[in-house]
């Protein structure tokens, strides 16, 4: 496009018109993009994958005899991760079983003679209390024996393993840290001025650098944190000073992910995410904490108790036989 005059000089008015036309075009394109794509959405790249972390601790005292897992390994609920040397708890369980057998025999003997002058009511009550105490001791000793095998409380991935063969552990000693694979979410930190249109239930599109643009995750807004990251810190800021400077704060927004997509494309805790919330539907609640989160539970402890009960009943039954 020629912006020179006939005599070879620069045509300033025409150049300004062209420049102005380009500016108007860029503005209109930007406005059109905002109307179509950005007006009903909020974006942030200050978002990170989070998940439920599970601690595996020893429940008995002893030396680690076997280590069956390594870091990054996937495990199932009930799988034996570590084995504590059973010598001490095995001896304790055998002693408790003998005490229970003796207490059962003593109580049965006195119960048969109940009403006889040789056995008083007080003696029978003491014998019964001794039996109940022996049952509790035997049950606890047997549960401790079962806890020689340190089992995984849930299906998860070993994030960090602390236990080593030969290490002496006590009840409460942390042996490993695991991450539950089915309890993964994203905490997206939005600026204050982005929150006014974000509502619970809105759909979300997410991307992770680990998969690039080829994989688009889908989720929904499920809740808002009760405070900003700074106010929930160990040492919250004190703004009652003369040199206070306003800093735009960010509020964590919890985003639930599609479980089917996670099974195909796993995400590790701490990975950064690009998050785009579709804010066109504004019927949901704003700035509300999550009503109900994922429930974590395990059945391994109840199974141990049930095994101990069967063991006690077996001892009692055999003690009653002549």
Mean pLDDT of 53-63: 95
| C-alpha 8: how far from chain center | 74
pLDDT for residue 297 is more than 90: no
* Residue 284 CB contacts under 8 Å (≥ 6 apart), including other chains: 199, 200, 201, 202, 221
Pick the range with the lowest mean pLDDT from 67-71, 145-149, 189-193: 189-193
DSSP 234-300: SS-----STT------EEEEEEEE-HHHHHHS---TT-EEEEEEE-S---S-SS---S-------SH
pLDDT value for 111:
83
183, 259 Cβ separation under 8 angstroms: no
pLDDT tens by residue, 76-99: 999 999 999 999 999 999 999 999
Closest by CA position to 89, among listed 135, 58, 67, 68: 58
DSSP state of 195: S
Q: Between 296 and 156, whose confidence is greater?
A: 156
Alpha-carbon span 177 to 296, nearest angstrom: 15
Closest by CA position to 59, among listed 301, 310, 312: 301
pLDDT value for 234:
66
Q: Above pLDDT 70, what percent of the chain?
A: 87
* Residue 282 CB contacts under 8 Å (≥ 6 apart), including other chains: 197, 199
Residue 17: how many other CB atoms lie within 10 Å = 12
Grade residue 9 by pLDDT with cuts at 50, 70 and 90: low
pLDDT value for 24:
77
pLDDT tens by residue, 12-25: 777 777 777 788 77
Give the predicted TM-score (pTM) of the model.
Answer: 0.75
pLDDT value for 29:
75
Alpha-carbon span 25 to 33, nearest angstrom: 12
pLDDT tens by residue, 229-276: 666 666 676 666 667 777 788 889 999 999 899 888 888 889 999 999
pLDDT value for 206:
94
pLDDT for residue 39 is more than 70: no
Alpha-carbon span 228 to 239, nearest angstrom: 14
* Residue 222 CB contacts under 8 Å (≥ 6 apart), including other chains: 185, 200, 254, 255, 256, 290
pLDDT for residue 5 is more than 60: no
Q: Between 281 and 55, whose confidence is greater?
A: 55
* Residue 12 CB contacts under 8 Å (≥ 6 apart), including other chains: none
Cα–Cα distances in angstroms (integers) from residue 130 to residues 98, 125, 151, 235, in the given order: 13, 9, 33, 54
Mean pLDDT of 44-50: 93
Alpha-carbon span 193 to 160, nearest angstrom: 39
Give the end-to-end CA distance of the chain in Å, rounded to a whole number.
Answer: 115
67, 161 Cβ separation under 8 angstroms: yes
Mean pLDDT of 289-318: 87
Closest by CA position to 284, among listed 190, 196, 198, 194: 198
What's the chain's length in residues?
A: 322
| C-alpha 47: how far from chain center | 18
* Residue 290 CB contacts under 8 Å (≥ 6 apart), including other chains: 222, 223, 224, 254
Mean pLDDT of 136-146: 96
Grade residue 309 by pLDDT with cuts at 50, 70 and 90: very high
At 183, is the secondary structure helix, strand, or coil?
Answer: strand
């Amino acid at each position: 496009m020629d912006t020179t005059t006939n005599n070879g000089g620069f045509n300033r008015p025409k150049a300004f018109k062209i420049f102005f036309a380009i500016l108007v075009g860029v503005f209109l394109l930007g406005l059109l993009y905002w109307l179509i794509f950005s007006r009903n959405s909020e974006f942030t790249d200050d978002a990170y994958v989070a998940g439920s972390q599970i601690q595996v601790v020893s429940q008995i005292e002893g030396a680690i005899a076997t280590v069956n897992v390594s870091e990054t390994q996937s495990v199932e609920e009930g799988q034996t991760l570590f084995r504590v040397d059973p010598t001490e708890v095995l001896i304790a369980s055998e002693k408790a079983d003998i005490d229970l057998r003796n207490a059962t025999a003593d109580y049965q003997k006195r119960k048969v003679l109940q009403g006889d002058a040789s056995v008083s009511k007080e003696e029978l009550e003491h014998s019964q209390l001794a039996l109940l105490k022996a049952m509790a001791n035997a049950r606890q000793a047997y549960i401790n024996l079962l806890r020689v095998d340190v089992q995984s409380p849930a299906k998860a991935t070993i994030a960090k393993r602390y236990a080593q063969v030969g290490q002496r552990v006590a009840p409460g000693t942390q042996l490993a840290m695991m991450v539950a694979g089915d309890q993964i979410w994203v905490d997206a930190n939005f600026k204050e001025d982005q929150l006014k249109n974000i509502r619970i239930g809105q759909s979300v599109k997410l991307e992770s650098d680990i998969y690039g643009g080829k994989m688009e995750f889908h989720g929904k807004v499920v809740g808002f944190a009760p405070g900003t990251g700074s106010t929930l810190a160990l040492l919250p800021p004190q703004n009652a000073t003369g040199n206070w400077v306003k800093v735009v704060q960010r509020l964590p927004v919890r985003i639930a992910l599609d479980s089917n997509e996670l099974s195909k494309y796993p995400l590790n805790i701490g990975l950064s995410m690009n998050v785009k919330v579709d804010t066109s539907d504004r019927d949901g609640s704003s700035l509300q904490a999550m009503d109900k989160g994922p429930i974590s539970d395990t059945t391994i402890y109840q199974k141990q108790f049930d095994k101990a009960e069967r063991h006690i009943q077996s001892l009692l039954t055999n003690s009653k036989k002549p």
